[in-house]
Structure 1
Amino acid sequence: MAGKRTRQKGQGGAANPGAPEAPAVEVADEVAAPLTLALPADFRIAAQAAFKQQLIDALDHDAIVLDGAAVERVDTAALQLLVVFQRELDARQRAPSWQSASTVLTEAAEVLGLTQTLKMPAPELA
């Protein structure tokens, strides 16, 4: 959300008693909304050319949220794509947050030992 703050333009007041008082100007603080990337239900590399481009485009955003709730199928190559994405963000000193991750996605990452690398959320207990 964008907030507002008041800033004085120019100099005046106690620092320069002879100068006229500058009017207060409201300046909007700009805070970029996070970019949410929804992983597709069929998250296998053969079907992911478009999603790969979304990841590349997302590298320019400050706040990125990954949503893996819909993932029903995943393969190692797709997880490798996420690892490369994560490493690129690490190099830029940024980290995505996870909105959610399906059981299929979480289990696949666990089997490959990638849950920490991908900074995935802890699985929900039933």
Structure 2
Amino acid sequence: MAGKQAAKRDGERQAAAPAPVVLPADCRMAAQAALQAELLEALQGGGVTLDGSGVERVDTAALQLLVLLRRELDRRGGTLAWRGTSEALNDAAGLLGLARILELPAAGPA
């Protein structure tokens, strides 16, 4: 019986996990308002999962927004996870020295 209750609780936790926030392919200034609104909504859950695997273009403004998200999650005791990152996102964050603060996954071999 206890095993069934634990399995039910685990299933409820998985079902309650929010869908990842998918970063747009063109993650530059023009996309910031929509992205900011989506990130603010995701913050309400305590943890945010980002999918940056489709990012083709990214600018400093987008990375600043992600740093603000990371800091707000830290303040609230929340978590940040990545479902994937693109080469463009990794390169830009690395160039600006933000890969560590954004907790980007290590780039694999090409």
Same fold (TM over 0.5): yes
List gaps (5 residues or longer) in structure 2.
Answer: none
In the alignment, does 2:28 pair up with 1:44?
Answer: yes
**Identity, % of aligned positions:** 50
| Counterpart check, 1:84 vs 2:68 | yes
**8 Å contact kept, 1:39–1:71:** yes
Q: Which has the larger radius of gyration?
A: 1
TM-aligned CA deviation for residue 113 of structure 1: 0.3
Please give the alpha-carbon distance, in whole angstroms, between the structure 2 residues aligned to 1:60 and 1:67: 18
Is 1:100 aligned with 2:84?
Answer: yes
Structure 2 length-normalised TM: 0.85
Runs of 4+ in 1 over 6 A off after TM superposition: none
* Deviation of 1:4 (Å): 4.5
Q: Deviations over 1:33-58 (max 9, x none)?
A: 23300000000022221111000111
Residues 1-126 of structure 1 mapped to structure 2, 5 A cutoff: 4-5=4-5, 29=9, 30-31=12-13, 32-126=16-110
Per-residue deviation at 1:66? 0.6
Q: Which has the higher strand share?
A: 1
RMSD over aligned CA atoms reads: 1.7
Q: Once the 2 structures are TM-superposed, how far is the Cα of residue 69 of structure 1 from its aligned partner?
A: 0.6
DSSP-derived class of the 1:80 partner = helix
- Conservation of the 8 A alpha-carbon contact between 1:68 and 1:99: yes
- Where structure 1 has 5 or more consecutive residues not aligned to the other structure, the ranges are 7-27
In 2, the alpha carbon distance for the partners of 1:124 and 1:75 equals 23
Q: Which has the higher contact order (CA 8 A, sep 6+)?
A: 2
Q: Secondary structure at the match of 2:54?
A: coil
Higher helix share: 2
